[in-house]
Amino acid sequence: MERLYPDKVYPMIDGTFVDDLPGAFKPVINPATGEALAEVWFGQEEVIDRAVEAAERAQKAFKRVPAPKRAEYLYRLGALLRRDKEKLSRLLTLENGKPIDEARGEVQEGIDMAFYMAGEGRRLFGQTTPAELPDKFAMSVRAPIGVVGLITPWNFPIAIATWKAFPALVSGNAVIWKPASETPLMADALSRLVIEAGFPQGVFNVVYVSGGDAIYMVEHPKIKVISFTGSTEVGRTIAERGGRLIKRVSLEMGGKNAVIVMEDADLDLATEAILWCAYGTSGQRCTACSRVLVHVEVKEALEKRLLDGIRSLKVGSGLDEAVRVGPVINRGALEKIHHYVEIGQQEGARLLIGGHPLVEAEYTGGYYYAPTLFTDVPANARIAQEEIFGPVLSIIPIRSLEEAIEINNDVMYGLSSSIFTRDVNRVFRAMQELDTGIVYVNAGTTGAEIHLPFGGSKMTGNGHRDSGIQALDVFTEWKSIYVDYSGKLQRAQIDVSYDE
């Protein structure tokens, strides 16, 4: 079989792999088996300094490359990602555990992002607008910021990196990327394609450092923007440390996403969607559904369908095409999930199925958790409030749309929500009232497309968005430009006469 990854992974700085800096190897673990796949060289501050030096130098030239030309590199990279889609997908499943079909979807998300942002090279629109004085021209343009730092999670090791890196690059910045410690092989694969696509050396650099050393990146005076996706706890530290330095920090954090099922819903469709968005990726998506707010009239009927559906979900290695639920990322995740299940039981929620790690022979060594369903969960229970990031779903009965909306909104997060109903009035009421950055109608809580902004309200983020053209706002500075061609001093707001 074709080798999908190297034995040893080194940081990629200035277009080459660097092995002369202090550091140490850490194993990369296959969550389906617990076996080591490869080793990755973890550096410390030196590797970040080296990357900053390269990035700063490269960005000085890159910002002068016309944006349509910068976009050419992204077109090439998109084509290479497409060429290697199957290989990358297999690698993604090996390293992250998600079922191969989902891995293909994630790689496709990266391909889409490459072509979408390449197209932005010929847009990057600003505005021209009338000036209030005669013989004066006004416009706004986007300017690159400089060296930007990206810190990304293991659950979407390539898609989320592309949501951030590609807008940054087309805008003329240089990137330093710290991927999650669990998924360096995808980062290594992307680095190799960046080199093959011919990007100027130093505009895209990858460093492998611990979370603690990533703070050095956050506080590095030459890194002007930090774009982070991950836990609320880490996001808060980044916001605090970056905020002190008045640094631009874009945060994308947790979710506690709900599907609302009204009594007039198509229950078969709702069941299928819930199974997909709650148990797909083993619940390890920020957008995963972890609460179902179901009308009491159809609660039993939905529970029955969900139970039948859960029994038919095949759990196992993601490389098996029939598997719907892969392993979770590591032992720590397995323990955290199980801890929440115990809390749920203490809180009086009724366990319908699952609720334990899978220990049968076929699961030996891997980190598998049984798809779990609780019902009659109090809306304020911890399992209905806190992000579990695993295949654990809570059913909460509701009696009206108003109550569902209230419960949906009464959590600290605001990423994604969904409603199943056939009533157009309820649909529009929900679209208006659900306090989440993403709302789905008659679809589950996952499945965001890359040309729309991704992010959420409240503790999910800090007002920025990934992907969509909105991501450009994270990586550009707006510059307002006034050209006065009157040949005389004209004072705005003063030398203007209007008839009141």
Rank residues 241 and 458 by Cβ distance to ligand UN1 and give the closer one.
Answer: 458
Give the number of other Cβ atoms within 10 Å of residue 31's Cβ: 29
Contacts with 144 (C-beta within 8 Å, 6 or more apart), sequence order: 59, 62, 63, 171, 172, 173, 475, 476, 477
Q: Which is nearer to ligand UN1, 15 or 167 (CB)?
A: 167
Binding residues with ligand UN1: total (CB under 6 A): 9
- Residues 35 and 365: beta-carbon distance below 8 Å: yes
Task: List the one residue from 30, 96, 155, 162 that touches ligand UN1 (CB under 6 A).
Answer: 155
CB closer to ligand UN1 out of 372 and 416: 416
* CB-nearer residue toward ligand UN1: 394 or 416: 416
Residue closer to ligand UN1, measured from CB, 18 or 286 = 286
| Among 74-82, 85-93, 282-290, 476-484, the segment contacting ligand UN1 (CB under 6 A) | 282-290
Nearer to ligand UN1 (CB atom), residue 183 or residue 446: 446
Question: Could you tell me the smallest distance in angstroms from the CB atom of residue 313 to ligand UN1?
Answer: 18
For ligand UN1, the binding residues in 301-360 under the rule CB under 6 A are none
- Binding to ligand UN1 (CB under 6 A) within 414-453 occurs at 446-448
User: Which among 185, 196, 189, 234 is positioned nearest to 214, based on CA atoms?
Assistant: 234
The residue among 363 and 389 lying less far from ligand UN1, judged by its C-beta, is 389
Residues 6 or more apart whose Cβ sits within 8 Å of residue 66 = none
| Contacts made by residues 479-483, CB under 8 angstroms, sequence distance 24+ | 479/140, 479/141, 479/142, 479/143, 480/138, 480/139, 480/140, 481/138, 481/139, 481/140, 481/141, 482/131, 482/136, 482/137, 482/138, 483/136, 483/137, 483/138
Strand partners, 16: 13
Among 164, 285, 295, 299, binds ligand UN1 (CB under 6 A): 285
**Binding to ligand UN1 in span 50-69, by CB under 6 A:** none
Catalytic residue among 95, 102, 252, 387: 252
Q: Cβ neighbours of residue 321 under 8 Å, at least 6 residues apart?
A: 100, 101
10 binds ligand UN1 per the rule CB under 6 A: no
Which window, 21-29, 118-126, 211-219, 283-291, contacts ligand UN1 (CB under 6 A)?
Answer: 283-291
Give dist(CA 288, CA 174) in Å, integer: 32
- The distance of closest approach from Cβ of residue 241 to ligand UN1 in the complex, given in angstroms and rounded to an integer, is 23
Q: Report DSSP letters for 214-272, one per residue.
A: HHHHHH-TTEEEEEEES-HHHHHHHHHHHHHTT-EEEEE----EEEEE-TTS-HHHHHH
Give CA 29 to chain center in angstroms: 22
Least separation, in Å, of the C-beta of 361 and ligand UN1? Answer: 32
Element (H, E) at 438: strand 438-441
Near ligand UN1 by CB under 6 A, which window of 87-95, 120-128, 285-293, 309-317? 285-293
Of 179-218, which residues contact ligand UN1 (CB under 6 A)?
none
Strands 350-353 and 372-375: antiparallel
DSSP lists the bridge partners of residue 282 as: none
Cβ proximity to ligand UN1: between 121 and 283 the closer is 283
Handedness of CA 221, 222, 227, 228 (dihedral sign): negative
The minimum distance between CB 358 and ligand UN1, in angstroms, equals 23
C-beta closer to ligand UN1: residue 378 or 447: 447
* Gap between the Cα atoms of 400 and 416, Å rounded: 20
Contact 56, 205 (CB under 8 A): no
The stretch near ligand UN1 (CB under 6 A) out of 55-63, 85-93, 281-289, 346-354 is 281-289
List binders of ligand UN1 among 87-146 (CB under 6 A).
109
| Least CB distance to ligand UN1 at residue 320 (A) | 22
Shortest distance (Å) from residue 196 CB to ligand UN1: 26
Interface with ligand UN1 (CB under 6 A), residue from 18, 161, 238, 286: 286
Closest contact distance (angstroms) between CB of 328 and ligand UN1 is 14
Q: Could you tell me which residues come within 8 angstroms of residue 69 by beta carbon, excluding any fewer than 6 positions away?
A: 121
Taking the complex as a whole, the smallest distance from the CB of residue 273 to ligand UN1 amounts, in Å, to 12
Inter-axis angle of helices 211-219 and 45-62, nearest 10: 40
The one among 154, 156, 177, 367 contacting ligand UN1 by CB under 6 A: 156
Is 109 annotated as catalytic?
Answer: no
DSSP state of 430: H
Q: Rounded to the nearest whole angstrom, what is the least distance from the CB of residue 277 to ligand UN1 in the complex? A: 8
Q: Are 228 and 254 in contact (CB under 8 A)?
A: no
Which residues are tagged catalytic? 252
Q: By CB under 6 A, name the binding residues for ligand UN1.
A: 109, 155-156, 285-287, 446-448
